[in-house]
Structure 1
Amino acid sequence: MNLLVDIGNTRLKWAMTEADRLVPGDFLANSQLSEERLKELWQSVPPPGRIAVSCVGAENTAELVCKAALELWPGAKITRIRSQADAFGVTNAYLQPEKLGADRWLSLIAVRHCYYSMPACIVDCGTAITVDLLDDHGRHQGGLICPGLRLMKQSLAASTAALKFDDARYDPGPANHTEAAIDSGVLTAAIGLIEHVFAAQPGNSLLILTGGDAERVAGHLAYRVVVDSDLVFRGLAIVLEEAV
């Protein structure tokens, strides 16, 4: 049994692998992370043989997680995931491969292994929206990044005196009050970005969405979409399996 840990910009998610299947655990907001909280969360977890950690948040957060894990399970082997130039069937397009976020790297690996080596447009709808393109030979074609839905709303509230932050959701389209207009605007911006990029891809490309807002965004896209909330976990599991 292995423990898979995905530390994002906003929260920590984790899962166990058990007989070739993923068993997800509860997530924790990064603002709530502490050694004590992690030990409480994991105290009933069977001791993992190996632990894989992906972190795009602060480095000290990953260090805290590793320390808590080793205090709970001193015999476990921890693997920190770093993006590479060429590994696990994927060639990284970045000029500095290590600068590609570990979560994006793991998603590329997962798609390459789990989706029949088809060309793909991979969209993570999280704190940031990232779009990565992968061809049918496993070559990363580069990517795009913009603020996520909540972050776009927060930036408007922080930069304008009259526009207040409202986390409510409304239907997209022309609105008759400001809160709905903002929500519709940021959602439509995300939809437009994804559809614009995907329209230029080969006809047999898959459109795969992951991240906290994936279900919402997917419901408004004009293309057939696969929503896979476990892409990063799948990538972590593949890295551990092939590293044995």
Structure 2
Amino acid sequence: MNCYIDAGNSRIKAHLARRSQKAVEPEVIDWPAADEPDAVGALATRLEPLLVDEKGRSPKQVVLASVVEARRREWLETAIAEVCPQAERRWLSVPRKCCHVRVAYESPEGLGIDRFCAMIEAHARHADRPLAVINAGTAVTLDVLAADGQHLGGLILPGWRAQLEALRSAAPALAPAIDSLGRNAGPVRASEPVAEVPEATRRLGLAADTATAIELGRHWLLAAGVNQMLSVWRERLAEQGELLAVLSGGDAGRLADLVDPAIERCVEADLVLCGVVRLARARR
């Protein structure tokens, strides 16, 4: 049996593949905190139930795809070696062409492996039509595929949490409002009573307090960027068929709600991890 791992910036998703399994059944593992005194040990403890089954068997090969920084890759590599030292560890890289998808980048290694895996899986599920493949996680990535699998390029936007982190760093005075969003505690109230929000303001989607202004702002930012991109490429690729937006990632559901209703869309779970399995098994 093999283990397939998608190590993202927020979480680690893993799938232990047995011959009897046809579907990908992921396990989700949290990264240790940055200040964890024994990050490798903590990660090994979390990985052990996945990598060693009830009969004490471990995978012959662990296939990994990751876009995280070198430090956390080292944590993962060392933790796996501690849990199952006999397992071969194989890190995937982006090829120029595989699974009928051809990369637009002049240097394919510059494209995130998560984006490539999401594209090949989306293309396999929705062949012969143009696609916008959107992964909504720490970052929101959007890649466009022509109907024949030619990658036309993409964009990267900060996700919901990344926007808050950036605001906190750049404007520390907004921290109380940002904290209230993180606690789901509702808007921060001023010491004086807040006037009723005018109906015209409600219709425009504007806020009358700072926390709500931040919350609406980050939604509008993503909605504007994603919908503009989808609109442009829907028109440019119209001769190839109707553009389909394929969304995945932890925030895919709420991003799908912001997509223009005129754009056909679907939300699919574990698109990257399924693509990791597909790429690892592919005959190029």
Q: 2:47 aligned with 1:42, yes or no?
A: yes
Structure 2 length normalisation: TM-score? Answer: 0.78
Q: 2:105 aligned with 1:67, yes or no?
A: no
| 1:1-244 map, 5 Å | 1-18=1-18, 19-31=21-33, 34-45=39-50, 46=53, 47-164=58-175, 165=178, 166-167=181-182, 168=184, 173-200=205-232, 201=234, 202-203=237-238, 204-222=242-260, 223-242=263-282
Q: Is the 8 A contact 1:174 1:184 kept in 2?
A: yes
- Structure 1, residues 58-86: CA drift from partner, whole Å, max 9, x if none? 12322321232233223323221111222
Deviates more, 1:39-48 or 1:77-86: 39-48
Q: Secondary structure at the match of 1:174?
A: coil
Work out which of the two has the higher radius of gyration on C-alpha atoms and give 1 or 2: 2
Q: CA deviation at 1:161?
A: 4.6
The aligned length equals 244
User: Cα gap change, 1:108/1:175 in structure 2, threshold over 3 Å: closer, same or farther?
Assistant: same
RMSD across aligned positions (CA): 2.4
Q: Secondary structure at the match of 2:282?
A: helix
- Structure 1, residues 120-140: CA drift from partner, whole Å, max 9, x if none? 101111111111011111111
Q: Specify the alignment match of 2:196 in structure 1.
A: none
Q: Which runs of 4+ in 1 moved over 6 A?
A: 169-172
Q: Is the 8 A contact 2:243 2:264 kept in 1?
A: no
Distance 1:178 1:104 in 2: 34
Distance 2:84 2:65 in 1: 19
Structure 1 length normalisation: TM-score? Answer: 0.90
User: Cα gap change, 1:42/1:159 in structure 2, threshold over 3 Å: closer, same or farther?
Assistant: closer
Q: CA deviation at 1:30?
A: 4.9
| Structure 1 gap segments, 5+ residues each | none
- Structure 1, residues 182-237: CA drift from partner, whole Å, max 9, x if none? 11111111111111111122342210111221111112322332112311111111
Deviates more, 1:3-12 or 1:208-217: 3-12
Paired-residue identity, %:
26
Q: Secondary structure at the match of 1:152?
A: helix
Q: CA deviation at 1:115?
A: 2.0
Look up the equivalent residue of 1:42 and give its one-letter code: L
Q: CA deviation at 1:243?
A: 5.0
